[in-house]
C-alpha cells in the first residue's frame, strides 16, 4: 500500500511540474499561415498522445495526395464534441490547418467542417 501511495505521489509531482504540457513543440508547424484542405477521410486515428486525420485531397495537377493532420489528445477532443467515430472513412470534409514548415502535406488542425460547411466538433 505504501508503494502505491508513493508511486501515485511521484506521478502527481511529475505531472504538476509542467512536463506533461512541454512534450510537444509546435515549431514544425507554420503558425503564421492557415490553409484549408478539402478531401475524403481515409482514416481518423483516435490515439494518444494526439489524434490524426488522414485525408486524401487533390493537388494542383489533380493527383491524389494524402495529408496527415495532427489534432489534440482524445481527452481534450472529447470535451469539444469529438468522438472516436466522428469522422468515418469516405466522408468529405474541409480542414483549416497550420501547415508543416517543410512543405509536406500535413499540419495541425484548427477547424473541421463537413462538405456543406457545418462545423464538426471544435478543436479550440
Per-residue pLDDT tens over the stretch 50-97: 999 999 999 999 999 999 999 999 999 999 999 999 999 999 999 999
Strand partners, 56: 40, 66
pLDDT tens-place string over residues 6-23: 333 333 333 333 334 445
Burial of 37 (0-12, 13-18, 19+ CB in 10 A): buried
Fold of 25-114: OB fold (Dihydrolipoamide Acetyltransferase, E2P) (2.40.50)
Considering the chain, what is the average pLDDT of its residues?
Answer: 84
Residues 83, 84, 87, CA angle at the centre, nearest 5°? Answer: 85
pLDDT of 86 reads: 96
Query: Structural domain boundaries of the chain?
Result: 25-114
Q: The pTM is what?
A: 0.77
pLDDT of 18 reads: 38
pLDDT tens-place string over residues 28-38: 898 899 999 99
pLDDT band at 121 (very low <50, low <70, confident <90, very high): confident
Residue 51: how many other CB atoms lie within 10 Å: 24
Amino acid at each position: 500500500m505504501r508503494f502505491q501511495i508513493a508511486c501515485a505521489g511521484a506521478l502527481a509531482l511529475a505531472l504538476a511540474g509542467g512536463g506533461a504540457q512541454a512534450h510537444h513543440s509546435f515549431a514544425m508547424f507554420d503558425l503564421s499561415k492557415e490553409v484549408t484542405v478539402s478531401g475524403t477521410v481515409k482514416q481518423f486515428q483516435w490515439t494518444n498522445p494526439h489524434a490524426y486525420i488522414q485525408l486524401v485531397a487533390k493537388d494542383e495537377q489533380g493527383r491524389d495526395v494524402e495529408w496527415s493532420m495532427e489534432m489534440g489528445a482524445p481527452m481534450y477532443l472529447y470535451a469539444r464534441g469529438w468522438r472516436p467515430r466522428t469522422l468515418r472513412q469516405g466522408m468529405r470534409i474541409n480542414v483549416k490547418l497550420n501547415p508543416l514548415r517543410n512543405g509536406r502535406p500535413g499540419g495541425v488542425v484548427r477547424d473541421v467542417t463537413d462538405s456543406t460547411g457545418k462545423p464538426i466538433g471544435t478543436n479550440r
